Chain A
Amino acid sequence: MSEPRILTGEHLISGNEAVAEGALAAGLQGYFGYPITPSTSIMERVIKRIQKIDDRISFVQMEDEIASITAVAGCSWTRKKAMTATSGPGFSLMQEGIGLAGFTETPLVLVNVMRGGPSTGLPTFPGQQETMQAHFGSHGDYLIPTLVPSSIQECFDFTIEAFNIAEALRTPVFVLSDQIISVLKERLIIPEADEIEIVNRASPSNPKITFKGEEIDVDFVPPHNAFGEHEKSFATGLSHDPSGHVDLSADNYEQLIDRLHNKIMKYQHLMPQPDLFNIDDAEIVLVAFGSTARACRRAMILARKEGLKVGTFKINTLWPFPKEQIEKVEQGRKILVVEMSRGQLIWPVERYVHKHVHHLAYYRGQIPTPSIILDKIRKVLGGDNK
């Protein structure tokens, strides 16, 4: 019995299942993956669903994560929306293919469900230790939009956003979830199909596309000339000219690297913006993303009951970093970064906040509970600068 691609209605499902539903709603056409906890249930949900959907959606269980990301890129070059999902060790293996996809402007979505590392690390307790790897994991200069959901609704919404950004800007996009969000179940509302914006990448015959009402500039994002479409299509992981062919000259390389960076920065405002809670009168602002942002909001509510003026800055797009917004928020307020890593999110915050940044680095394979965060807030407001 066939099922619709978009399951409009109310659901009680997990973060990973919501990611799979988001991908299907966004128009997923190919999934290539390798099992790894805690991401595997995304793959399993996709497989379960695609067998009941009438559209052709290909799936191949690959031999490893390097193969998975490379096959996703290959599928994308036939103008298909493709994705994979993985966790820490698999994300490390995928770095090679991420560089290739970024450099060849290949739209794809990679969901990394974070667990504690390094190496095999903490299977499968939560972590947020791929914060910097998402930015600098592969060799060379590149920038990949990275969305960080902290609720089941956001797992669904941000996966659709990720596909749309990938298609609009011809880039890989990361969704960085974590072990807590992956298994957490809460309410998901899937809207009617016609209420969901779906973006399809530009082609030589249809070069003008819009994303959130804005026309994408072809000088920044060239239309995708995919395989089998009557116009010769070629791409290489070597430095290349606009036709895709090898060109190692200095000027060409510099222009290419700049354009690939600038196309992401130019449309940063179309990516999910940070959520600000109780900032106006706040003396201290908690900066966090993912599951820790949930704990921060709870800690903020508890603190407010004690009369402590606490706000929360919840990051939704980690990269490019919401530089302007954090610069506005930091003025006259203390900043406390809360993260499940020894110190990764604090790096970009320290870069843009021009004063001492307080830090709750919680790297125990557990989420810092609201009471732990509240304790830290009290200390910081009491003048403890440690």
Chain B
Amino acid sequence: MTIDFTKLHHNFETSLTSKMLPTIWCSGCSLGSNLQSIIRGAKQAGYDFDHDIVMISGIGCTGRASGYVNIDGFHTTHGRALPFATGVKNGNPDLEVIVFSGDGDLFAIGGNHFIHTARRGTDMTVICNNNSTYGLTGGQASATSFEDTVTPTTIGKNDKPFNLVDLALGAGATFVARYTTAQYNTLPRVIAQAMRHDGFAFIDLVSGCPAIYGKRNGYPTGEYMIKNFKEASVEIDTSDPSYLLSENTAIEFDRKVGYTKIPIGIFRSSTMEGKF
């Protein structure tokens, strides 16, 4: 079958910077779907793409996203999306600031910035496309790689991964959620809620890198990955007070089959006095 690409349309074509397409992202990657969820979320929340929103990104596959969306944006240096966003929000508090970055950028090189930005409660929405690897540099172990997985920088076992929900809660984020790429129906609503949240909102968006990390570690294709996300996702029960315990928020992974448990939901959504 031949596909006439000139006749293909994208539902959110006007929200994308056409001259930058196609993206650098591999087939099966979560990032395209995640980006669409953000566009849908921002539209649902009622923001005007002409002047209401700024998207700040760091370095890595995810970093390129700010250049693909047709809104104001800045592609910063590695790990520095949050301090840049802090400057933007303080410079113009009327802007809705979205930080769209990856686990390596936000939690390894940028980890210190994350805890401090959360602590200050600067009003912004931070979405971590958490695929547990450095995709752009070839799939090395990241701060969220699982212990028993294989990467080019693994000797025996990886170090223990961060539980990003636990970390965000501890650092004082006032909106904390986790979903996977597979919840593309729920995500826009949650993202809209995070954007409207007056304070530091964080979403651990569990994503996959089937082309590199997944191929080595139990989810070789995008199709398998989405199925895996759906099967492993467990909605948290907020009526049980123990749902916030670390062991109940942790993601579990088995190198043979992929994800085995992903606790999803909104872990915290408290209103705080607006900083701006």
Contact = CB atoms under 8 A, between A and B. Distances in A.
User: SS class of chain A's interface: helix, strand, loop or mixed?
Assistant: mixed
Contacts of B76: 70, 100, 237
A227 B72 CA distance: 6
Interface stretch (B112-120, B125-133, B156-164): B112-120
A270 interface: no
A66 B83 contact: yes
A80 B92 CA distance: 9
A49 to B, nearest CB: 17
A232 B86 CA distance: 20
A295 interface: no
A99 B20 CA distance: 24
Contacts of B67: 234, 236, 245-246
Interface stretch (A57-65, A197-205, A371-379): A57-65
A238 B92 contact: no
Nearest to A227: B72
A72 interface: yes
B51 A74 contact: no
A67 B83 contact: yes
A68 B95 CA distance: 20
B174 interface: no
B87 interface: yes
Interface in A212-238: 227-230, 232-238
User: Residue among A75, A229, A230, A246 with the most chain B CB within 10 A?
Assistant: A75
B70 interface: yes
Given A70-B80, A237-B75, A30 B91 contact: yes
Given A97-B77, A236-B74, A227 B54 contact: yes
B71 A74 contact: no
B116 A75 contact: no
A369 B85 CA distance: 47
A196 B90 CA distance: 27
B74 A82 contact: no
Interface in B21-56: 50-52, 54, 56
B17 A71 contact: no
Interface in A230-266: 230, 232-238, 245-246
A76 interface: yes
B88 A78 contact: yes
B19 interface: yes
Contact of B84 (A58, A63, A74): A74
B59 to A, nearest CB: 8
B66 interface: yes
B86 A60 contact: yes
Nearest to A229: B51
B80 A67 contact: yes
Nearest to A243: B19
Contacts of B51: 228-230
A249 to B, nearest CB: 14
Interface in B81-113: 82-88, 90-92, 94-95, 112-113
B222 interface: no
23 contacts: A30-B90, A60-B86, A60-B120, A63-B83, A64-B112, A66-B80, A67-B113, A74-B83, A74-B85, A74-B87, A75-B87, A76-B91, A97-B77, A228-B51, A228-B72, A228-B94, A229-B51, A230-B51, A234-B17, A234-B73, A235-B74, A245-B19, A246-B67
Given A74-B86, A77-B87, 15 more contacts: A60-B120, A62-B83, A62-B116, A66-B80, A67-B86, A70-B76, A70-B87, A71-B83, A71-B87, A74-B83, A228-B72, A228-B94, A232-B72, A233-B72, A246-B67
Interface of A: 29-30, 32, 58, 60, 62-64, 66-68, 70-80, 82, 96-97, 99-100, 104, 227-230, 232-238, 245-246
